[in-house]
Chains A and B, each alone.
Chain A
Amino acid sequence: MASTFLKNAVQKGARLIVADPRAHRLVDFAELHVPLRVGSDIAFLNGLMHVLIKEELYDKKFVQSCTMDFEKLKAQVAEYTPEMAGKIAGLAPEMIVDTARRLASVKPVMLCYTLGITEHTCGKNNVMSVANLQMLLGNMGMECGGVNPLRGQNNVQGACDMGALPNVYCGYQAVTDPKAREKFEKAWGVENLPGNVGLMIPQMMDGLVDKKVRGFYIFGENLANTEPDIRKVEHELASAEFLVVQDIFQNETTKFAHVILPACAWSENNGTFTNSERRVSRVRKASEPPGESRPNWWIFKQLAKRMGHDWASNSGQEIWDNEVSVLSPNLFGIKFHRIENDGLQWPCTDECHPGTTFLHKEGNFSCGLGNFVAVEWTPPAEVADEEYPLVLSTGRRLYHYHTRTQTGRCEGLNDLLGEETADISLADAESMGIEDREYIKVKSRRGEVNVRARVTPEVPKGMVWMAFHFREGNANWLTNPAFDPVTLTAEYKACAVRIEKQ
């Protein structure tokens, strides 16, 4: 839906540049498509910054007054000449120069990205690079500018805000901070909250095998299909000593469970979601849940009770109004009665606060000065070679959502997309004699799938593009469980594969 607003803007005269290895639909609306090679983002971005600095096209006033460590950035990008960056990114040097000049020619420029930036072994550095570019151009802290990651899931922002992360409580209050621990000990009426940062998902999965993790609780995630390298993931899940899965359907993950708890779905209880723009909106009950299924919050409350903790809140509203918003300074002003209609965007610090549509206003970064963190390009963990000469990149398709546990059960959606395909270029199809819709084998070092080829001009030569909506032909039989060292985000966007005719 976000793209419709981009397209409206283009129709009204806004200029769009799409930097993507694939020529997807938005390219039709762009004045320039930059078809950079998969995994070359930092080289490309550093190349742009090289040109902006060399040609003195950057926002000197913003850099001087609102940022720090510009000299480090300058030194880092000095070697990324358009020629050098272009060689890595598979682009003509002129295109890098041209893109940089176009970016500097208007203000503000809004930069949007999705998982093509984060799902790499250099994902964190990719994000840093994107932020460097926008700070250099002085496009931060203003409406229609900034760095805008478009979230893929309805409440991934909210789950972060709620502290479903190993290092923070709700409202991003660090578990390592004794003051924060004390605050939550008092609020929850407990003692000795742990102060060590916990495990991230990939570490938990490893822990199931080496027995550091004995009991594992999965709430509403079909890990057996969504994580890279399904065979490895299933071995890990099968190793769990005690696995609890709380979900609305049986799925590939519940097979490994010792206990399955039936939960209410969307529209079966009251609460809130938080979207990509930090907007907290109401979710309302419309239908009765089936059978004995119960709200997720009720299940956790009952477990807590059995382990000696009696929690007071007894509805979504009580949890939000009396706990979440009270304990999270940025959400302090958001109460159910204020979001009956449109939601509110945090930070919203008191009950008269109108919410905040964009951050870092007038270049005042929440951390003080905007910090340029110069980064070096690194290639994906696995690159194409003689044995596996193609690059597999993955993503989502319009008609289904993730592992299709929901959209696969909606009348009509399977008619629009009924099976997975491997999208390949016209050039590769021709050289291998592959027809559109023909079944092919796609193989990586992890596994292989049989899947129909979709021969399409969207995909460049040398790339195979797939999704993970269907168990059969799921890209995660092939993907590489290599992770960004800091975020532990997997490199779904790049691994080496080969294709074979059946």
Chain B
Amino acid sequence: MKPYFILNGRNTPFEKGQSILEAAEANNVSIPSLCCLKGASPTGNCGVCVVEMNGQEVLACSTPVNTGVVVRTRTPAILALRQERIKELLDSGNHNCAIGSSDNGDWCDFQQTVQASDGASELCPAWGDCRLQELAYEYQVTGGGRQDYKVRQYPQKKDEPLIIRDYSRCIRCGRCVAACNEIQVNLAIDTDFLDADPLANPDKAYPVAKDNCVYCGECVQACPVGALVEKKARYQYRPWKAEKIRTTCPYCGVGCQQTLHVVDGRIAKVTGVEDGAPNKGRLCVKGRFGYDFIYSEDRLKNPLIRNNDGTFRDATWDEALDLVAAKFQQIIDQHGPDALAGVSCARSINEDSYQMMKFFRSVLKTNNIDHCART
């Protein structure tokens, strides 16, 4: 028989070794957290998952459940603690959504200063796709309103390829570290930033990637706020404008499942499908960032037929297909079907390879069909 504990007054089963957070989630009781990353060990950095256990305040992510303990997740005292913590996080950086500064009185000044430091005239690039913002709405918390509140000047790294690391919005939750060190195991981000004081020593107080970063972008996917953003998606992507389409990565043989975030018919960014088989939400640098070749101006846009001088001229489909069919027929008539051969594509969809194989065998009547499996 499974052991039980008391969760919000109900007898609730749990598995041995589960944290309060895991046991609650398994029983459809949601406890908010900003720092927990599925598949990685809990850190307790954000403090938002605070709950009451046997009258004591504990962090749900890092406290194991024991038989018979009494856990309450939404007492007024707990809610107040969460509100306080969320406000602290909102105040800790340049969270220029409507929430981040609305107690400030000088909303315009704040926006303009932050936007100047961003080099853009937009709200935070994560606006609408930010876990901190969601929790602020849920807990009715607004930022600002404090005497010492000011725009932070923390390090921003905008010159690296693919990823913008903007620590002015970092809440030091450590999810990027867990994603890098425990999920992808690239070990490119150290944890010692937590020891430094952000106000006194901002350069040391944020999770900066080392030289062995391989730009997989797992940290970006893990970031709950706007501190880590895909360079190509920054300000292009807003969740309410994007259609989500699940597909399979076009690169290697792992077959990672991706979510394409499509804005106005163009892929704006790519994320891994959480819990999807086989990659469980992970992607590599090519899978995450290697999608925009399809929009290249170099794409072939119409059939081409070679002129006698070696140059190519534009042709219609009818012209090109008629020429190929006639030429193949002529070769078959003169030299037999085995004078034709074809190489299929190990990159394109199954249906295309099937179709080419069928064309060679059933129409041209040759088995001279192969692809690069042998190389």
Chain B nearest CB from A298 CB (Å) reads 9
Best-buried of A169, A280, A286 by chain B (most CB within 10 Å): A286
- The yes or no answer to A258 lying at the interface (CB within 8 A) is yes
Best-buried of A169, A244, A275 by chain B (most CB within 10 Å): A275
Contacts of A216 on B, CB cut-off 8 Å? Answer: 340-343
Contacts of A199 on B, CB cut-off 8 Å? Answer: 338, 341, 368, 370
- The yes or no answer to B358 lying at the interface (CB within 8 A) is yes
Chain B nearest CB from A268 CB (Å) reads 7
- The yes or no answer to B117 lying at the interface (CB within 8 A) is no
Per-position binary interface string of chain A over residues 77-99, scored 1 when its CB falls under 8 Å from any chain B CB and 0 otherwise: 00000000000000000000000
Question: Once the chains bind, are B289 and A410 in contact (CB under 8 Å)?
Answer: yes
- A residues 324-372 near B (Cβ < 8 Å) are 324, 341-343
Question: Once the chains bind, are A277 and B278 in contact (CB under 8 Å)?
Answer: yes
Total A-B Cβ pairs within 8 A: 440
Question: Once the chains bind, are B343 and A223 in contact (CB under 8 Å)?
Answer: yes
- The yes or no answer to B255 lying at the interface (CB within 8 A) is yes
Q: For B367, give its contact among A8, A166, A294, A406 (CB under 8 Å).
A: A166
Question: Once the chains bind, are A159 and B340 in contact (CB under 8 Å)?
Answer: no
Q: For A258, give its contact among B305, B350, B373, B374 (CB under 8 Å).
A: B305
In this complex, how many residues of chain A approach chain B with their Cβ under 8 Å: the count is 139
- B residues 328-375 near A (Cβ < 8 Å) are 328-329, 331, 334-335, 337-375
Chain B nearest CB from A181 CB (Å) reads 9
Q: How many Å lie between the Cα of A282 and that of B317 in the bound state?
A: 28
Contacts of B26 on A, CB cut-off 8 Å? Answer: none
Contacts of B290 on A, CB cut-off 8 Å? Answer: 401, 406-407, 410, 413
Contacts of B341 on A, CB cut-off 8 Å? Answer: 198-199, 204, 207, 213, 215-217
Q: How many Å lie between the Cα of A283 and that of B251 in the bound state?
A: 12
- When C-beta atoms are compared, the residue in chain A nearest to B290 turns out to be A410
Chain B nearest CB from A228 CB (Å) reads 8
Chain A nearest CB from B243 CB (Å) reads 8
Question: Once the chains bind, are B161 and A412 in contact (CB under 8 Å)?
Answer: yes
Q: For B349, give its contact among A212, A244, A269, A487 (CB under 8 Å).
A: A269
Chain B nearest CB from A242 CB (Å) reads 5
Q: How many Å lie between the Cα of A424 and that of B358 in the bound state?
A: 46
Q: How many Å lie between the Cα of A263 and that of B357 in the bound state?
A: 17
- When C-beta atoms are compared, the residue in chain B nearest to A407 turns out to be B290
Question: Once the chains bind, are B371 and A221 in contact (CB under 8 Å)?
Answer: yes
Per-position binary interface string of chain B over residues 213-227, scored 1 when its CB falls under 8 Å from any chain A CB and 0 otherwise: 011000000000000
Q: For B253, give its contact among A150, A266, A408 (CB under 8 Å).
A: A150
Contacts of A316 on B, CB cut-off 8 Å? Answer: 349, 351
Question: Once the chains bind, are B343 and A218 in contact (CB under 8 Å)?
Answer: yes
**Further pairs besides A219-B352, A248-B299, A292-B302: 8, Cβ < 8 Å:** A156-B373, A199-B338, A201-B372, A216-B343, A296-B349, A297-B354, A302-B317, A398-B286
